[in-house]
Amino acid sequence: MKEIAEIFAPEGWLASRIEGFSYRPQQQEMAQQVAEIMQQGGVLICEAGTGTGKTFAYLVPALMSGRKVIISTGTKNLQDQLYHRDLPKVRQSLSSPVSTALLKGRSNYLCIHRLENTLVEEIRLTKQQLGQLQEIREWSTTTKSGDIGDMSEIPEDASIWPVVTSTTDNCLGQECSAYSKCYLVEARKRAQEADLVVINHHLLCADLALKEEGFGELLPSADCFILDEAHQLPEVAGNFFGVTLSGRQLNELAKDCITEYHKEAKDTPQLMDRAEVLKRASQDLRLAFGLEVRRGAWSELSNNPSVNVQLENLQQALDDLLEALTAIEGRGKGLDSIKERCEVQIQRLQGLLDDQAEESIRWYETQRQSFRLNRTPLDIANIFRGVMQAHHAAWIFTSATLAVGDSFDHFANQLGLQDAKTHCWDSPFDYPRQAVWYVPQGLPEPSDANFNRTVSDLSLPILKASNGRAFLLYTSHRALQEAAEYLQNKLDYPMLVQGTAPRTELVEQFRELGNAVLLGTSSFWEGIDVRGEALSCVIIDKLPFASPGDPVLQARIDALRQQGGNPFMTFQLPQAAIALKQGAGRLIRDETDRGVLVICDPRLLNKPYGKVFIRSLPPMTKTRDLSVVQRFFSLMGVLQKQAE
């Protein structure tokens, strides 16, 4: 541990080798704790407040451990940032010989086989897709990684990507003619050979859940797992340990079947006919749910006979397609792969229709043109604990938001981590000096019909004082849209609204404009880092309790209540407290940042449970006086001019 302490010391190795590095005792202590767990084994849950430098605190011991380490992050963006920016900096400063690799899920890599197939079938693409396809073809001749994230000219959510990437359902594996050149296979090989591998939670959980996402011998060979942004893990894991059948999966099965028919089975017209029937059955099921985009409990379907009829039609369409595929089994590798996929989809549908399975939640969600049928475990603690026990390794869970107050019980109980060692390091920022926390007076209750309008009205003088430079964070899309419409002609600053452009693009515009006001919901509450004067104010409309109408939440509430528990105190309140910490954490990102956090929910002060939220927030200067906020911004302006 002494060596770790010396590396992070005020005059230590990192301070002398990394420009701008500053000593933080919290970071030094965290690095020592991580190193100890890596050496001795066990489980560590640790919260490191914003500014602690937790990334360096786990990278240094990981690089020095001499062990096989897997680091998992919350999102692909964070994964890229960690691998391409932070890891090289630390590795170079330590002169570390450790080999590293970046591994993403298969949908992030160009599939040569599907690209070649698509080039033959250009007539089936839109004009925009055709143009993008040509760009991808040119890029495919020069790329070494095949990582679609490197193809910045085409957005990652472009509709062309699913056409030229593979899924676990449609990948041919070793039967593929392009297997020897497969980018995913090469990425996995590099990961297997590396000492330190950077992945993300979706990929980790997909493999832990045995969904054939495919690490080969990677996970069993790991000595240590470091899970950053670990607060996201329970939800991600819950999705992967369940069962899902989507309209997209069914449509791709039908489409790929038609492709293989043209290549290998033109003498079997019924195959084409049955694939078309499957496609129509999927479309008819989506229409039966109605036009609204929403999530709903499975129990609602008993009142919708049309959905139940279409589910029966879908089941029959899959059975008929399987019959046709079985009749020509052995005709070709592509058709045999389609048959296996059809069998998997039948099994998934049967599992979803089985109403006898216990300890799980059945629900559905509709998108604009598709749907997803889901079965989610009611509790993943036992499942996840079993998975961890199967991988004898050190496990480290870290985030800036894991504790509720001073307790890690909520997070630990969700993943079955009762025997974990825990530690919490506060942010090194001087919050009383750097930030003001303002709760306006005279606010109506959130249930009041005029609440949204009141929040918008009280935001105007605050935004005037802050000269824009603000995030307005909402707990619902409806509230966001109402605010956007109301504020449209009332602001003297550029207004950016979630949904009008991709999130990364909106954030970049916000930074460049310097005086913008950005309105966002859940996806803007975390994972966004805007430092400096551009973000000087965060206004939050309500305490972020999850919607009581959410079918998964409601099922968990019912289950906890049946067990004699208090679902509000043990689940809903802790979840909301962590979400509020995330939203508030957007404000102060650097030791030179200053700003105002505004929370417009009177329940924070007039309900007993408000104390849980207050204990979870940083120790900012508190006020209920608007003039204090205005003076704070005036002083910020003076200090800024002096600095210039």
pLDDT of residue 216 exceeding 80, the answer is: no
Can you give the residue ranges of every domain in the chain? Answer: 2-99+195-240+380-425, 106-184, 244-374, 431-643
- In this structure, the strands spanning 243-246 and 371-377 are antiparallel
Does residue 642 have a pLDDT over 60?
A: no
Q: Which two tokens stand for residue 297?
A: 């409990």
Q: What is the pLDDT of residues 491-539, one digit of tens each?
A: 999 999 998 888 888 999 999 999 999 999 988 998 888 999 999 999 9
In angstroms, the CA 420 to CA 415 distance is: 11
Query: What six digits make up the tokens of 476?
Result: 């619902």
**pLDDT at residue 218, rounded to an integer:** 66
Is it true that 2-99+195-240+380-425 and 431-643 share their CATH fold?
yes
Radius of gyration of the chain (CA): 26
> Domain 431-643, what fold?
Rossmann fold (3.40.50)
Taking 3-state DSSP, the helix, strand and coil percentages for the chain, each rounded to the nearest 5, stand at 50, 15, 35
Q: Is the pLDDT of residue 373 over 90?
A: yes
- CB neighbours of 600 closer than 8 A, spacing ≥ 6? 439, 440, 443, 454, 455, 458, 539, 540, 541, 542
Query: Taking residues 27-55, what's their average pLDDT?
Result: 95
Query: For the segment 560-613, what is each residue's pLDDT rounded down to a tens digit?
Result: 888 888 999 999 999 999 999 999 999 999 999 999 999 999 999 999 999 999
Question: Hey, what amino acid is at 157?
Answer: D
Q: Can you tell me whether residue 502 is helix, strand or coil?
A: coil
Give the strand pairing for 371-377 and 43-48. Answer: unpaired
Residue 187 banded pLDDT, cuts 50, 70, 90: very high
Q: How confident is the model at residue 219 (pLDDT cuts 50, 70, 90)?
A: confident
Q: Residue 126's pLDDT band (boundaries 50, 70, 90)? A: confident
Over residues 171-194, the mean pLDDT reads: 89
Helices 233-240 and 201-208: crossing angle, nearest 10°? 40
Is this structure's pTM higher than 0.85? yes
- Fold classification of 2-99+195-240+380-425 is Rossmann fold (3.40.50)
Is the pLDDT at 211 greater than 50? The verdict is no
More confident residue, 149 or 349: 349
Percentage of residues in the chain having pLDDT higher than 90: 65
Segment of 112-126, 127-141, 313-327, 379-393 carrying the highest mean pLDDT: 313-327
Average pLDDT over residues 139-149: 92
Measured in whole angstroms, the distance separating CA 107 from the mean position of its chain's CA atoms is 15
